[in-house]
Structure 1
Amino acid sequence: MSRAPKIPSTSDSSFYVMASGQIESAIFSGNLDNLYCRYALSFGNDWGVIHGVDSGLSQIARKDAGSQDQSVTWNFPIDCTFKATNAFGWPRLAISVYGVDALGRDVVRGYGSLLLPTSPGSHVRYVHTYTPMSSSILQRFISWMSGTHPEFFDSKFVSQGEGREVTRVRNTGVVKVTVNVMTKGMESFGYNSGGGVAGSTLNMGGSGNFSTTGGFNMGGPATPALSERY
């Protein structure tokens, strides 16, 4: 059981953002199976992690045999608390999905990125994934013959803007992400973080409160019907 982060007093010249949730499930074209995902949080120089981890690797998931639902379910948890002095560089979640081919090799199935919601509360996001394409027909043929597909050297590349304008990609699937965001101290920096909804507070060890507009339900059905999800 993890210990709640210690939050300094509001006199500190920083604000805090806590993101918790899960990379829930995914569906890919081409009847792909045996998939796992890797995530990494990318953020600016004025941000720092004070609790939790900013990267992770999930288990391999398979489709439910005999079911019409073609999705794979990970329910892979995300839990990270940030301290920042500037909203510039707001964290982005970079997701990489890999699969195992017939020869037992790890093959990339899709990349995608998500800007963590800037308002407190529970959020559901759908991340469209893609893979890079070879730059020529010859390289595409060699890639098909060898079974080695193009990959990004850095998985966080998808969460950045530099160099992406010359990248050719193709769509591969969709990943469902559920995330709950809580903030503290943003109002003192002039940011409106709560909207017009009266929120509740979450006590973090008696040293400070996060503001939130709703709870995050980790229970309930993990895989709703396909038509509801994608």
Structure 2
Amino acid sequence: MSDGTFLVSIFGQIEYIETLAAAGTSWHCKYEFVSGADWKIIGGIEAGLSQMANAINNGDKIVLNFPVEVQFKSTNPYGWPQLVLSVYRGMQLEGYGRTHIPLRPGSHSLEVNLSKPQASSLLGYIGSFFGYQPELLQPKMLATTAGNNLIRMESNGTVLLSLNLISQGLQTLGYDVGKMKD
């Protein structure tokens, strides 16, 4: 690529959610890729919504095996892509997660910790007894640092991702991300 750009291709799947799941509950996951201003999506899907999956026994993993695939083009590694997840039980938010996409080409297994926002006022706390759950208007704001220190969160499980990364043109531009895993 002689025009000063490089390509990054990401594909894989959201494998499962691991949290305290009651038998018979339905779960699903939203995902969204977030990247810097110099990054452009040239293929695949930037955001998606998984199918519903049910927990059969108490405490089971909720298996989604939901595919994700996206290709980026950029001239600058600043704003390297991140994946933001929103996990729901029925229509109730159970947590948000965020992870950077690995720099090194190859296969990666990523465990993303989930956390959910807590009420910030007494009225919100009382509302939680009646089913009110605070949610972020734009979960992709978690991929930045702007105002995140003002959000009270509590840990609430993990999501396992299996991602494969292929890059082209990074070494030509002088970037060294290491060798592929054997």
CA RMSD after TM alignment = 1.6
Alignment of 1:187-202 (within 5 A): 187-195=171-179
Match of 2:50 in 1: 58
Matched, 1:178 2:131: no
Alignment CA distance shift 1:191-1:77 (3 Å)? same
The code of the aligned residue for 2:84 comes to A
Matched positions, count: 181
Alignment of 1:1-230 (within 5 A): 10-29=1-20, 31=22, 33-65=25-57, 70-100=60-90, 106-145=91-130, 147-195=131-179
CA distance in 1, matches of 2:60, 2:21: 10
Identical residues among aligned pairs (%)? 34
The alpha carbon displacement at 1:18 in A equals 0.4
CA displacement 1:104-158 (0-9 Å, x = unmatched)? xx1111101010011000000000101110112332112222x120000002122
**Structure 2 unaligned residues grouped into runs of 5+:** none
8 Å CA contact 1:183–1:193 kept in 2: the answer is: no
TM-score relative to the length of structure 1: 0.75
Give the structure with higher Rg (CA).
1
Q: State the secondary structure of the residue aligned to 1:188.
A: coil
CA distance in 1, matches of 2:89, 2:155: 16
8 Å CA contact 2:13–2:162 kept in 1: the answer is: yes
**Structure 1 unaligned residues grouped into runs of 5+:** 1-9, 101-105, 198-212, 215-230
8 Å CA contact 2:19–2:59 kept in 1: the answer is: no
Flag the structure with more relative contact order, 1 or 2, with Cα contacts below 8 A and sequence separation at least 6.
2
CA distance in 1, matches of 2:146, 2:52: 31
Q: State the secondary structure of the residue aligned to 1:17.
A: strand
Q: Which structure has greater strand proportion?
A: 2
